[in-house]
A and B are shown apart, each in its own frame.
Chain A
């Protein structure tokens, strides 16, 4: 029985992030947290209580925060630079480009409350451009885990990886989807459910919605493949090509603009390697109205029933072509 149907416990992935960060901090004195007056929103209170001197709070100054992170790494430390994703990426984009990515600094950028987690606060606080801004930068893996298990695994992986990383986290509760003990592999999608009619691909807060949509499709006799694709860069070319060739159609959904994000990254592969009809769901190129993240995702056609409907329309396009 699918756990999604039984009102599973929802997890705030920030909790998984700080649990691993604090464990890493205990094991390795080089682990430091850097933030922009965001101790509370990044859930760094526990880290601060344990190692107050290793919590580098630069105040409300994101450009400095990212530069300081690069300097700390130069001095041999392992900095996790945490801030609301809208500010971490938008305000400091040139620092992310020059000081982190181009300099290949061993800095872990952690975008908190990404997507529309701050839905009611309006478009200034929505971070629905961050995939587009970051995935064009060489050297910088871009990762949006789908649950607390993958978040923990990705943080663990990022700490061991030598080089910059952008982890895009949310505060919106999600059910656990991946098995306990899951190991994160950069650039490798996870097959959560197999099928041959269509492939549904998502990451972050959308993956569990894809699982629900697949349940709806299955109830109508349509078997959808579901891939969780946390890594937006480097994209899993092999999984995308297999999805396109084996299922003939790909639907993507993301808490991001439809321009430049996960769907675009997948489309780049599909067009070049295995042309197939696609549908990209996300924020349709507008500044989003007021509402919670969950409300807005529904509003933009990403409720499971709407996703299932879009998938059926996509499958029809596939048949028309055949």
Chain B
């Protein structure tokens, strides 16, 4: 898939995500919009996966550690063929398997259950370590939020990934600069991330995480030095919808009817 094709798919995913959050009257739309370009690049270009065999042992792993943006993952997985696209309309409905945080035992393509923050990276370290021990060729990707990096468990995992020389592991930090209640800078500002990850022995790339032409090569980059790779993806919370962009309110706000129309028009126009 060419970059322009990926950009088109990302916009389609944004539109479906917006509709799902609007209809469910809940979701985490800001952090979904910031992360959708990366998820699109992963599932439509980078990851070696077989939607009809979601547990294939040689599949690349992707762990969405910022599990509250599950809706974007569901839409992406559905579009890639892991589940029926029409099922997205059940998001958050009673007894739907598409709840607010992904469940690996119910939703094909989900690798581990996330939701509480700071869980995905340690599990991803285990996945990458397993590949080293068994000689498997799969690559492990994990995406965290930038606010999520405040969880101490991530730094335990970062340290061990370097110790284990996991050059088959890529951590993507969705650096949209906002967490639930405020800007990162006003809360517990771990940025800049590059120097911290480098100090732990990681290779670090910094990209515009909403620019597909930068996202794809960063995800495809392979370290051969025994160092795990961190992509600090500078993104915008609410990317693609002008009035949501970089507004902390849109962490989990639901658009009104009028806002929905404006947002849908903006995304459709871009298509």
Contacts and interface: CB of A to CB of B under 8 A. Distances in A.
A217 B129 CA distance: 55
Contacts of B114: 98
A40 interface: no
A71 B126 CA distance: 4
A56 to B, nearest CB: 6
Contact of A98 (B57, B105, B113, B129): B113
Interface in B46-105: 57, 61, 103-105
Contact of B122 (A59, A68, A103, A105): A68
Contacts of A99: 112-113, 119, 122-123
Given A59-B159, A63-B156, A77 B122 contact: no
B113 A103 contact: yes
B126 to A, nearest CB: 2
B144 to A, nearest CB: 13
B116 A71 contact: no
Contacts, number: 111
Contacts of A53: 133
A299 B157 CA distance: 42
Contacts of A269: none
A70 B112 contact: yes
Given A54-B133, A74-B112, A99-B113, A104 B157 contact: no
A72 B130 contact: yes
Interface string B163-182: 11000000000000000000
B149 interface: no
B131 interface: yes
A53 to B, nearest CB: 7
Of the candidates A69, A71, A105, the one having the most CB atoms from chain B within 10 angstroms of its own CB is: A71
Nearest to A74: B127
A135 B127 CA distance: 27
B84 to A, nearest CB: 23
Of the candidates B61, B112, B134, B157, the one having the most CB atoms from chain A within 10 angstroms of its own CB is: B112
Contacts of B130: 71-72, 74-77
B203 interface: no
A231 interface: no
A300 interface: no
Interface residues of B, number: 36
B136 A64 contact: no
Interface in A168-189: none
Contact of B153 (A54, A59, A63): A63
Nearest to A53: B133
A4 interface: no
Contact of B160 (A32, A61, A104): A61
A95 B57 contact: no
Interface string B140-155: 1000000000001100
A71 B133 contact: no
B113 A71 contact: no
Contact of B129 (A72, A94, A105): A72
B129 A56 contact: yes
Contact of B119 (A69, A75, A76, A98): A98
A58 B156 contact: yes
Contacts of B7: none
A95 B186 CA distance: 28
B136 A75 contact: yes
Interface in B186-216: none
Given A63-B118, A103-B104, A75 B131 contact: yes
B219 interface: no
Given A63-B118, A64-B153, A98-B113, A72 B105 contact: no
A227 interface: no
Interface string A86-111: 00000000110011001111000000
Given A68-B160, A75-B127, A103-B104, A32 B119 contact: no
A67 interface: yes
B35 interface: no
Nearest to B110: A103
Contact of A71 (B118, B128, B134): B128
B115 interface: yes
B232 interface: no
A92 to B, nearest CB: 9
Interface of A: 30, 32, 53-54, 56, 58-59, 61, 63-64, 66-77, 79, 94-95, 98-99, 102-105
11 contacts: A54-B133, A58-B156, A63-B118, A63-B156, A64-B160, A68-B126, A71-B122, A72-B127, A76-B136, A95-B122, A103-B112
